[in-house]
């Protein structure tokens, strides 16, 4: 019931915003028509001539201000207008911080450190990205829509070139072919280049990786090709090059993901643990996020907590998987008995408070996730790259973890009751954070590049004026125009007002006449005496 009422409210808001757009256009057209009709009676041409004199004098003042602006910039190194806007006007208007600003901002512990303007919108490889041939292509065959953008696929091509080919000065002939293959936009051209590399060298593991990713139409077929690539990769380790190690790690990880998708979850967990133990310095690949998802599928919550204890550290970078998995574990402990009515009467217990705080922490890190978990927004296939704290990361997390939230009884209900309370803690998220740094203002642009065009990108915070402000502006404009017309044409406006009110109250007069015809005259006489 709550979800349906929430959906009706969202539809009503969207209808009001849609209708307001057209009302503004109609109002603008009426203003233009009124200016055309009243051009001669109001002597607007003479008014424009006097206005041109004012503009001429204003130009002189603007030149003086330009001189002052130049002097202020030379002395303080910043624009006076920009300084006033950033310091005083932006908090009032809810403006977005410029992406070029590199000032100081407070960290969680109160210390000041330089804000990384470039890295705050860094794009990361999705640790749970799907297989192009077996999953993404199947979606295209069924729907006719492309789930991946060219920007996303280009980033993947750059990753593969850097990860698998290594130093360009020591490229073997088959590596040169593969380097070109990753750059091809056409999937068939990439597959043909992979077969060409295999013809040149049957031990080209990168070519088998490409075939497993793009040509294999089932996970079983992809697993077979990855195993063949793994056999070649192990033989290549005798060179002990970074390229061979990177290729081996990638293949083992994808094999573990194949096992997870084929239902051999315990085998997948073992492979991931062995991979993390064998290559502990490759934490940037976020293999622990694959491990967390597999352990949640096994419902091995104690093992999940052990992984979080290692990676949910203040010194390590966070992700939606880390924050929301931690919130899920705490919510799971209390959600089966949680009731909003009972909590409002007796207050929250310590365990419930911990769960609510964990949800607030997760929502502050990525505020886009709850709408996908609560199924208020439709999910799409996750992209191959994500932007931390952005909508792309929210899609990738919810796509794999929605089932785990549904499995924990009452967890989604607790999330539904508490997630919006986060925004009261951080009323100006672009200016100041609570547990994390201020929310980066560049996520919308990057997410639109990563997510397909048919997906409605979630924007936070929403840059829209409240309906009350729009209504007040329209009412003030209408009142000002009525006052101007009444001042210029008092007699005509008096006739218009009389006709308007007589038309407005005509139904009431008609109703009163009918009442008099039905009621006896003595009734009205007695009523007036009372």
Domain ranges of the chain: 128-285, 286-464
The domain defined by 128-285 carries CATH number 3.30.2000: no
Instruction: Give how far Cα 257 sits from Cα of 164, 243, 268, Å.
Output: 19, 21, 7
Q: Give the pLDDT of residue 211.
A: 93
The answer for residues whose C-beta is within 8 angstroms of residue 342's C-beta and 6 or more apart is none
Alpha-carbon span 286 to 272, nearest angstrom = 11
* pLDDT tens digits in sequence order for the chain, 530 residues long: 444 554 566 666 666 666 666 676 777 777 777 766 665 655 555 665 655 655 565 555 566 666 766 666 665 555 555 555 545 444 444 444 333 333 323 333 333 333 334 345 788 999 999 999 999 999 999 999 999 999 999 999 888 888 776 655 567 788 888 888 888 888 899 999 999 999 988 888 889 999 999 999 999 999 999 999 998 877 765 555 667 788 888 999 999 999 999 999 999 999 999 999 988 877 778 899 999 999 999 999 999 999 999 988 887 888 999 999 999 999 999 988 888 888 788 888 888 899 999 999 999 999 999 999 999 999 999 999 999 999 999 999 999 999 999 999 989 999 998 998 888 888 878 778 888 888 888 888 899 999 999 999 998 877 655 555 566 667 777 777 777 777 777 788 788 878 877 787 777 777 777 766 766 666 656 666 65
Q: Give the pLDDT of residue 291.
A: 94
Give burial (CB, 10 Å; 0-12/13-18/19+) of 210.
buried
Give burial (CB, 10 Å; 0-12/13-18/19+) of 426.
buried
3-state secondary structure string across 175-223: HHHHHHHHHCCCHHHHHHHHHHHHHHCCCCHHHHHHHHHHHCCCHHHHH
Q: Judge contact between 87 and 103, C-beta under 8 A.
A: no
Q: What is the CB-side half-sphere exposure of residue 387 using CA atoms within 13 A? A: 26
Ranges of H-type helices in 409-505: 411-418, 422-425, 443-450, 467-488, 490-504
Q: Give the pLDDT of residue 329.
A: 94
Q: Give the pLDDT of residue 29.
A: 74
pTM confidence score: 0.68
Q: Give the pLDDT of residue 42.
A: 54
Instruction: Give how far Cα 503 sits from Cα of 359, 376, 514, Å.
Output: 57, 46, 18
Q: Give the pLDDT of residue 115.
A: 38
CB contact burial 41-65 (16+ within 10 A = b; e otherwise): ebeeeeeeeeeeeeeeeeeeeeeee
Q: Give the pLDDT of residue 450.
A: 93
């Amino acid at each position: 019931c709550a979800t349906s009422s929430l959906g009706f409210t969202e539809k009503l808001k969207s209808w009001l915003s849609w209708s307001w757009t057209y009302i503004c256009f109609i109002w603008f057209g009426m203003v233009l028509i009124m200016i055309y009709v009243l051009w001669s009676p109001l002597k607007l041409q003479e008014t424009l001539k006097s206005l041109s004199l004012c503009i001429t004098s204003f130009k002189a003042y603007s030149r003086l201000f330009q001189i002052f602006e130049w002097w202020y910039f030379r002395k303080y190194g910043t624009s006076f207008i920009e300084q006033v806007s950033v310091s005083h006007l932006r908090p009032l208007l809810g403006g977005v911080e410029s992406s070029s600003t590199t000032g100081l901002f407070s960290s969680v512990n109160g210390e000041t450190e330089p804000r990384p303007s470039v890295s705050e919108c860094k794009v990361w490889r999705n640790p749970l990205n799907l297989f192009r041939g077996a999953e993404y292509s199947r979606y295209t065959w069924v729907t006719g829509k492309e789930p991946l953008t060219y920007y996303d696929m280009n980033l993947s091509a750059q990753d593969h070139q850097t990860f698998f080919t290594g130093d360009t000065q020591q490229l073997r002939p088959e590596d040169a072919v593969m380097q070109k293959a990753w750059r091809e936009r056409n999937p068939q051209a990439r597959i043909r280049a992979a077969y060409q590399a295999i013809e040149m060298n049957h031990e080209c593991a990168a070519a088998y990786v490409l075939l497993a990713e793009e040509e294999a139409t089932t996970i079983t077929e992809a697993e077979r090709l990855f195993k063949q690539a793994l056999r070649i990769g192990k033989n290549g380790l005798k060179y002990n090059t970074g390229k061979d190690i990177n290729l081996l790690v990638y293949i083992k990880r994808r094999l573990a993901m194949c096992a997870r998708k084929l239902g051999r979850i315990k085998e997948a967990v073992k492979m991931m643990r062995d991979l993390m133990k064998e290559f502990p310095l490759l934490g940037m690949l976020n293999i622990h996020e694959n491990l967390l998802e597999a352990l949640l599928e096994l419902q091995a919550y104690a093992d999940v907590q052990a992984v979080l204890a290692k990676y949910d550290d203040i010194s390590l970078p966070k992700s939606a998987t880390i924050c929301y998995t931690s919130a899920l574990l705490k919510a799971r402990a209390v959600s089966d008995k949680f009731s909003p009515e009972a909590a409002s009467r007796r207050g929250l217990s310590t365990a419930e408070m911990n769960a609510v705080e964990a949800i607030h922490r997760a929502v502050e890190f990525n505020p886009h996730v709850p709408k996908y978990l609560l199924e208020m927004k439709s999910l799409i296939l996750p992209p191959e790259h994500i932007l931390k704290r952005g909508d792309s990361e929210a899609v990738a997390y919810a796509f794999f973890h929605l089932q785990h939230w549904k499995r924990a009884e009452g967890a989604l209900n607790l999330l539904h009751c508490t997630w919006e309370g986060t925004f009261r803690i951080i009323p100006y998220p672009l200016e100041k954070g609570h547990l994390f740094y201020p929310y980066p203002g560049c996520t919308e642009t990057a997410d639109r590049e990563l997510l397909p065009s048919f997906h409605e990108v979630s924007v936070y915070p929403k840059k829209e004026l409240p309906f009350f402000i729009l209504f007040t502006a329209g009412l003030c404009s209408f009142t000002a125009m009525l006052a101007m017309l009444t001042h210029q044409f008092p007699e005509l406006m008096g006739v218009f007002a009389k006709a308007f009110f007589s038309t407005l109250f005509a139904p009431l007069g008609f109703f009163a006449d009918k009442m008099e015809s039905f009621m006896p005259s003595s009734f009205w006489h007695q009523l007036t005496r009372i």
